[in-house]
Amino acid sequence: MAVQTPSSNQIDGKKIAEELRARVGSAVKSLPQHPTLAVVLVGDDPASQVYVRSKIKFTQECGMRSVERRLPENASQDEVVATVRALNEDTEIDGILVQLPLPKGLDSDAVIEEIDPSKDVDGLTETSAGRLLLGKTGLRPCTPTGCVILAKAALGDLTGKNCVVLGRSILVGKPAALLFLEQNCTVTIAHSRTKDLAAICREADILVPAVGRAEMVQSDWIKEGACVIDVGINRVPNPAKPGKTKLVGDVDFPSAEKVAGAITPVPGGVGPMTIACLLRNTVLAACHRRGWETPDIIASL
């Protein structure tokens, strides 16, 4: 991955994701057959439908097969589990993604645990989490992986960098910390109970806010020249368009941009990387399951 050019301190997540998708597409062409990603969508949530359409589109653009399993809003836990189990048993399916959140009344954790770990392209099962913690090979969560790739695009080798992950969720915070640790960073996990939180953040060469609180991180929380990877996606009122909303991150971007050496915008930063990393995981899963050699072009971050 090319190092970010010094002409701008904004990290272009769209461009870097496009480059990764191109690498995935090249990898797919070298395989004996095209990998297949299955997406399970339960209910009619508009945002989920948009995400699924986007995932299907990019899967197909990379030369892979896409299979969609739709269930109604009132689907039972047993019906969702049966759908996942059927995909586990289908030898043509290489990756399984259950679109979250599931409708109210369904146990998301129990559904995720039904996914065959070898097909867990979201990296969310307990087996995947355990392999990450133990430093064993496996499928890594997509958003945290995207964060590492973006940081490397901005900084190159991350060895010895102080990384502060702001947030301790099992979806982003904890796995991101472990992935940056794999890159030989010195990692601190900070959270709402951390004493003098701003001071801790100011120690970071790489700051990864992932708390879901709009514009929580102010410019005086950021060390001069630090790399800021903003994972937050928050919808807030848009003063320029009364009655409308806009997306912002966990960082006060206008002020932070003046301090940071490199920073991701919201939208257009981490978001595009999540899907690109999902596609990479699908190819990795297919190679592992089928005994194919992993193409060098996607083998490492």
Domain contains 126:
no
Q: What is the pLDDT, as a whole number, of residue 243?
A: 87
1-22 pLDDT tens trace? 544 444 479 999 999 999 999 9
Domain contains 4:
no
Residue 173: other Cβ atoms inside 10 A: 22
Domain contains 47:
yes
Q: What is the pLDDT, as a whole number, of residue 8?
A: 77
Same domain, 155 and 254: yes
DSSP state of 99: -
Ligand-binding annotation for 76, yes or no, is: no
Same domain, 200 and 104: no
Marked catalytic residue, from 116, 122, 230, 250: 122
Ligand-binding annotation for 168, yes or no, is: yes
Domain contains 94:
yes
Rounded CA separation 90/108 (Å): 22
Nearest CA to 163 among 149, 183, 193?
Answer: 183
Same domain, 149 and 264: yes
Chain-centroid distance, C-alpha 282: 14
Whether 10 is a known active-site residue: answer: no
Q: What is the pLDDT, as a whole number, of residue 4?
A: 47
Ligand-binding annotation for 167, yes or no, is: yes
Whether 122 is a known active-site residue: answer: yes
126-157 pLDDT tens trace? 999 999 999 999 999 999 999 999 999 999 99
CATH number for the domain that contains residue 84: 3.40.50.10860
Same domain, 110 and 148: no
Marked catalytic residue, from 4, 12, 94, 99: 99
Domain contains 138:
no
Q: Where in the sequence is the domain holding 43, given as residue range(s)? A: 14-20+32-116
DSSP per-residue string spanning 141-183:
PHHHHHHHHHHHHHHS--TT-EEEEE---TTTHHHHHHHHHHT
DSSP per-residue string spanning 52-83:
HHHHHHHHHHTT-EEEEEEE-TT--HHHHHHH
Same domain, 66 and 105: yes
239-286 pLDDT tens trace? 889 989 999 999 999 999 999 999 999 999 999 999 999 999 999 999
Same domain, 173 and 112: no
164-220 pLDDT tens trace? 999 999 999 999 999 999 999 999 999 989 999 999 999 999 999 999 999 999 999
Ligand-binding annotation for 235, yes or no, is: no
Q: What is the pLDDT, as a whole number, of residue 222?
A: 98
Confidence at 106, pLDDT banded by 50, 70, 90: very high
Q: What is the pLDDT, as a whole number, of residue 173?
A: 97
Taking residues 38-51, report their average pLDDT.
Answer: 93
> How far, CA to CA in Å, does 251 sit from each of 16, 154, 199?
21, 18, 15
Same domain, 101 and 165: no
Query: Which tokens go with 204?
Result: 């970071």
Q: Locate tokens 């009619």: which residue?
A: 44
Whether 99 is a known active-site residue: answer: yes
Confidence at 121, pLDDT banded by 50, 70, 90: very high
- Rg over alpha carbons for the chain, rounded to the nearest Å, is 19
Same domain, 188 and 225: yes
SS3 230: coil
Marked catalytic residue, from 4, 12, 55, 120: 55
Q: What is the pLDDT, as a whole number, of residue 139?
A: 97
Same domain, 102 and 161: no
CB burial of residue 268 (10 Å; 0-12, 13-18, 19+): middle
Domain contains 168:
yes
**Residue 67: pLDDT over 60:** yes
Same domain, 110 and 156: no
Same domain, 71 and 161: no
CATH number for the domain that contains residue 170: 3.40.50.720
Same domain, 149 and 42: no
Q: Which of 100, 116, 132 is the last residue before a domain boundary?
A: 116
Domain contains 131:
no
Cβ atoms of 69 and 90 within 8 Å: the answer is no
Report the domain count for the chain. Answer: 2
Domain contains 123:
no
Q: What is the pLDDT, as a whole number, of residue 7?
A: 43
